[in-house]
Amino acid sequence: MADIEIDIGGEIFHAFYEEKDAPKTVARFRELLPFSDRIIHVRWSGEACWIPMGERDLSIGYENATSHPAPGQIIVYPGGLPTSVSETEILLAYGAVAFASKAGPLAGNHFLTIREGLDRLYKIGRSVLWDGNKPITFRKAG
């Protein structure tokens, strides 16, 4: 059974925590649930959508960090660190991604994975690109 239900503009996806590899990130994200915002298309990273979180300090540091999340992988750029070159953000890959900002390459903590419905996820990502932002909600599955 999935850990998280993600609603993107009325499309429902089920995701699983990567708790073994990103325990601090998973624990911090659980504290944020339910979490609602809007998702917009990335500018530099390729086929992905993101949730900008500004200067929010998640106090998690790096763990299980990647610059190339696969489709369905969700990463968080933790921000709040002296070495941070971008704002805190959540990024959801729907295709090929090379995570970056205007300051250059970034890495984010892979903490959540959508394993099924990647064809629908691709369509949602393209819709965000061409039609604009969509509401997104993460909630505990069940």
Are the beta carbons of 38 and 77 closer than 8 angstroms? no
Q: Kindly list the structural domains of the chain, giving each domain's residue range(s) and its CATH number in brackets, ordered by start.
A: 4-140 (2.40.100.20)
CA 88 – CA 62 distance, rounded (Å): 12
Give the model's pLDDT for residue 56.
Answer: 85
CA 136 – CA 127 distance, rounded (Å): 14
pTM: 0.94
Give the model's pLDDT for residue 69.
Answer: 98
Give the model's pLDDT for residue 101.
Answer: 86
Q: Which residues of the chain have pLDDT under 70?
A: 80-85
Residues in the chain: 142
